[in-house]
Structure 1
Amino acid sequence: MISRRSFGLLKSAPNFRRLAVARFTSVFGSAFGPIALSFGVLQMPGGSPAALSLVLACQAIPQLLFVLLGGVLGDRVRSRFRLITVTESAAAALWAVQAALFYYNGPVVWMAVCAAAGGVTRALFSPALEGVVVDLVPQEDRQEANALLKVSTNTARLAGMALAGATVSVVGPAIALALDAVSFAVCSGIFASLGRAVPPRPVRYRGTVLADLRQGWDEFRRHEWLWVTTSQLTLVIAVVNCVNGVLGPMLATQYLGGAWAWSAVMVAQVVGQIGGAGWAARLRPARPMLLATVCTAAAALPALLLAAGAPLLLVVAGALVSGVAWDVTMVMWRTCLQREVPAEAISRVSSIDLLGCLALAPLALAVAGPLAAVFGPAVIAAGGAGLVVLAVGCALLSLDIRTLAGARRAGSGESDGEIATAA
């Protein structure tokens, strides 16, 4: 489904091609981490669900605490590529230490410390990554670039998910985590080469970190479509995480057939995301954020089908559709972000957006299980689907969401108001 223009970008832009390879490698290796970490903690002597919760919480909380600092650094450094080189090198070292701890049955407390440090590296990495496409790709090619990167990372995630379970089962979690460390090291090397190839940005240090954050906040607030979308995604992502991590597995155990059935649903969702990203490269909507917001409503579909007790085939189809719609949303949103927000503020703005989008996710995961135990997972899933629809409906009340125009085609006086036909 990828357009000829997108493949042309891969051929004509070697630096972007290296970026795509780096992201594929990193995400492929990262798919091993959660499975190896979860099963490794549970299988080790003295391992327990409480120990696993501790490790996962130590990984998630620092990411939220340090993401705003990551946004400031991403806009301050002269080369975002070199900043990412540092974060990926640190991540490689930390996952190597984690692998050694699992191999020697090291204490859980040190695993939690490594997980916390890994959360910090992700907090510094993500906002800088948002600015990398802006530094590397001309504006007229960014929609295709974003779509290609989503196809690449979703394909990597699918392949990693398929191999991670087998790797952990056959050779153990320590080797799986070591492979994750290798993927980060390879990614670091590619970003180091990009740092040498791409000229540094002219950056001036004009104020304190707090002053930089205030400027980023002012820029974030200036775009109604952006803060409305972030507010909407705060609820939507919390619901999706609860369905994927808690409610879906519970309902799959109750009536779909167990873990294999839920695995099929998750794989269908990722396959849909691959197709959605490829399709998004071809779309030229006159109102990209209107399309993105409407597509977000499809996130309610799996929860609604599960709540209704739909058969497995229908739930898989719903997950496929929601995956397609989700990546159309992500490509449109990211392209608008890179077009509307100045390059010198994009890391700070994206860090504020990321903090907002993930703000409710840990709390939602914490309460979903207890609520499902009291009211039943189907009731909570139905309530979650209702929250998604409500959030989308409120977002559509925004005039900015409904009217933000698409980009103009390079070399023409026409707006990208038509949806391009398949090449």
Structure 2
Amino acid sequence: MLDPLRERSFRFYFLSRSVNLVGTTMAGISLVFAVLEVSDSPTALGTVLAAHSIPMAVFLLAGGVIADRFGRTRVIQACNVLAGLTQLAIAALVISGAAEIWHLVVLTALNGTVASISMPALAGIVPALVPRDQLQPANVLLSLMRSSMTILGPSVAGVLVVAVGPGWALAVDGATYLLAAALLLGARIPPRERIGEQESMLPELREGWQVFTGTRWLWVVVLGFMVLNALEQGAFNTLGPVLAKGSAIGEHGWGLILSAEAAGFLVMGLVLSRVRLQRPLLWGMLGMGLYGLPMVALGTTTETAVVIAAAFVGGMGVEVFSLGWNLAMQENIADDMLSRAYSYDALGSFVAIPVGQLAFGPLAVVFGLQQTILVAGLVYLVVVALVLTSRAVRTLPRAAAPGTVGAAPVG
């Protein structure tokens, strides 16, 4: 599993992502409770969260083309610097007590714009850092690192929110972005030849669209995640903290729930480091079905231990999907199209997130917090089942390594 770290460029990329995730895992819970400190309205919280996700949906396609044109490491470095500056600005306002909702909306929107441009580059960089036969161990190693950081981050952030306020965790996140950009200087990727460089992005976007629409399993899963992500972000990530703050769960309990989810990532990551994942999308979507359990639990009880257990199981399922999806993309999409394919994937998956973030606050006011979360969890399970009705999703196999008899075509 550690073999990919022998590759110098992957090693520096791994260190860069590790540092970045230290802050990022703290920032999510810190921003939520920073908003709730300014206003206890679930609608206000949904507005700030949507301010991050709307620019992501708008600029994702441009991010895919930019990554393929200018180099993935260069794009990630620039975006890390800009994201760090916006987070430090938010932290300064929160720590000083001068933050207002519109401040958070504007700065979070800028942060979301930068994130949207960097996401396709991050998603498409791994195949350029390691040999093809090390894709699974490289992805597992990154997942284990992410899971480890995500276990610690929310719990530490929950303690900081209670002890000194949410602004300090946001400040840590801003600083880690800048350090991550510096570490990425050690990653070297040979420039890829581009034949017939075009001034307009439209032909390149059209090529990416043709790959997306021509790959049945790709667009079917993305279509499903349009609904799944809207439900998760609206019900669990927007209404969940509001319910936690007003119940026995509390801010620290919410941090423990998110850490339990990350512990599920870690445990399943360790399992997958020993198991070759065949039928990556079949097992991946079955895993996503488990992620409906935390919403069902939160919609029926405020017993922290019950929700923690459900979050742990849900996290295990998400980790199976995460690895399965990365392998499906990296093994079946040509490298020169990968960032653009990921950008269409991300656009389709994220485009409805702002709808969920904005809609679930008013829905909770009308129908109640727990009732709304419960219905969202049940609908989540139904959507997963519908995606699995696609034969292309259920039967997609692992691609053989180049030179292996029976190797699957790429592209």
Would the TM-score normalized by the shorter structure come out above 0.5? yes
Query: Partners in 2 of 1:282 and 1:340 — Cα distance?
Result: 22
* Structure 2 unmatched ranges of 5 or more: none
Q: Which amino acid aligns with 1:282?
A: R
Query: Partners in 2 of 1:332 and 1:276 — Cα distance?
Result: 12
Q: Mapping of 1:247-286 within 5 angstroms?
A: 247-249=239-241, 257-286=249-278
Superposition deviation, residue 162 in structure 1: 2.3
Q: CA offsets per residue over residues 356-383 of structure 1, 9 Å max, x none?
A: 1112222122222332333334433332
Q: Which amino acid aligns with 1:9?
A: P
Three-state SS of the structure 2 residue aligned to 1:405 is coil
Q: CA offsets per residue over residues 183-228 of structure 1, 9 Å max, x none?
A: 011100111221xx33222224236212211111111111111111
Change (3 A) 1:409 1:283: farther
Instruction: Return the TM-score normalized by structure 2.
Output: 0.88
Aligned length: 405
Query: Partners in 2 of 1:285 and 1:36 — Cα distance?
Result: 35
Match of 1:68 in 2: 61
Change (3 A) 1:167 1:82: same
**Alignment of 1:20 onto 2:8:** no
Query: Partners in 2 of 1:304 and 1:101 — Cα distance?
Result: 36
The answer to whether the Cα contact below 8 Å between 1:148 and 1:278 also exists between their aligned partners in 2 is no
Match of 2:150 in 1: 157
**Alignment of 1:330 onto 2:325:** no
Q: 1:358 aligns with which of 350, 365, 368?
A: 350
Instruction: Return the TM-score normalized by structure 1.
Output: 0.86
The answer to whether the Cα contact below 8 Å between 2:53 and 2:353 also exists between their aligned partners in 1 is no
Q: Which moved more, 1:230-239 or 1:342-351?
A: 230-239
Query: Partners in 2 of 1:142 and 1:216 — Cα distance?
Result: 22
Q: 1:97 aligns with which of 89, 94, 97?
A: 89
Q: Indicate the percent of aligned positions where both proteins have the same amino acid.
A: 29
Superposition deviation, residue 92 in structure 1: 2.0
Match of 1:124 in 2: 117
Match of 1:199 in 2: 190
CA RMSD in angstroms, aligned pairs only: 2.8
The answer to whether the Cα contact below 8 Å between 2:226 and 2:351 also exists between their aligned partners in 1 is yes
The answer to whether the Cα contact below 8 Å between 1:143 and 1:332 also exists between their aligned partners in 2 is no
The answer to whether the Cα contact below 8 Å between 1:298 and 1:321 also exists between their aligned partners in 2 is yes
Q: Mapping of 1:46-61 within 5 angstroms?
A: 49=41, 55-61=48-54
Match of 1:179 in 2: 172
The answer to whether the Cα contact below 8 Å between 1:75 and 1:348 also exists between their aligned partners in 2 is yes
Change (3 A) 1:311 1:167: closer
The answer to whether the Cα contact below 8 Å between 1:287 and 1:405 also exists between their aligned partners in 2 is yes
Query: Partners in 2 of 1:53 and 1:236 — Cα distance?
Result: 17
Q: Which amino acid aligns with 1:216?
A: G
Change (3 A) 1:279 1:410: farther
**Alignment of 1:7 onto 2:2:** yes
Three-state SS of the structure 2 residue aligned to 1:31 is helix
Q: CA offsets per residue over residues 283-318 of structure 1, 9 Å max, x none?
A: 324322111122211122222334444954443222
Query: Partners in 1 of 2:103 and 2:168 — Cα distance?
Result: 18
Match of 2:213 in 1: 221
Q: CA offsets per residue over residues 32-56 of structure 1, 9 Å max, x none?
A: 3334444445556xx6747655544
Query: Partners in 2 of 1:107 and 1:319 — Cα distance?
Result: 32
Superposition deviation, residue 161 in structure 1: 1.6
Match of 1:371 in 2: 363
Superposition deviation, residue 343 in structure 1: 0.9
Match of 1:166 in 2: 159
Change (3 A) 1:103 1:266: closer
Query: Partners in 1 of 2:306 and 2:250 — Cα distance?
Result: 16
Q: Mapping of 1:206-245 within 5 angstroms?
A: 206=198, 208-245=200-237
Superposition deviation, residue 150 in structure 1: 1.3
Q: Which amino acid aligns with 1:202?
A: E
Three-state SS of the structure 1 residue aligned to 2:191 is coil
Match of 1:421 in 2: none
Query: Partners in 1 of 2:277 and 2:168 — Cα distance?
Result: 46
* Structure 1 unmatched ranges of 5 or more: 1-5, 417-423
